[in-house]
Amino acid sequence: MAQGLIHVHLQQQADYRFEIRFEGGAPAMLGDEPPPLGQSAGPSPVQLLCAAVGNCLADSLLFALRKFKQAPEPLRCEVEAEVGRNAEGRLRVLKMTATLHLGVTASALQHLERVLDQFEAFCTVTQSVGQGIPITTRVMDADGVMLR
């Protein structure tokens, strides 16, 4: 990821549905709240937050493994956000759990312990979001063995 400013443009389409446009050529998408506020015409802001955290973690893990010329593909990630009320009674993301799944067994990868010890520290989004929301990260191999 490059340093500098990132620009995202949102334009209201109707009610809580917004067209989201990204600079740099990425395709536009819709964001929307679920009923009763919106119509779920696109992911909600909390779903987009989960996607950003999971995508960044998966990218960081893949990058760290590829530095050692390892092939963990296909990776997948599931992110769960717990939404609840804070002390003031307002809805907040209280915590998040990200589970990364390697596409191969742990024994097929070299330097895995070293990668697992440090990949998360290089994840720009997770480290930033994690300053305000507790995030637990788990990594499992293709056999379902929990590695972290």
- Segments making up each domain of the chain, as ranges: 7-43, 45-140
- For residue range 85-141, what is the model confidence (pLDDT) as tens digits? 999 999 999 999 999 999 999 999 999 999 999 999 999 999 999 999 999 999 999
**DSSP class of residue 35?**
T
Which two three-digit tokens encode residue 8?
């995202």
What is the CATH architecture of 45-140? 2-Layer Sandwich (3.30)
pTM value > 0.85 = yes
- For residue range 88-104, what is the model confidence (pLDDT) as tens digits? 999 999 999 999 999 99
CA–CA distance, 12 with 22 (Å, rounded to integer):
15
- Do the beta carbons of residue 112 and residue 100 sit within 8 Å? no
CA–CA distance, 148 with 44 (Å, rounded to integer):
29
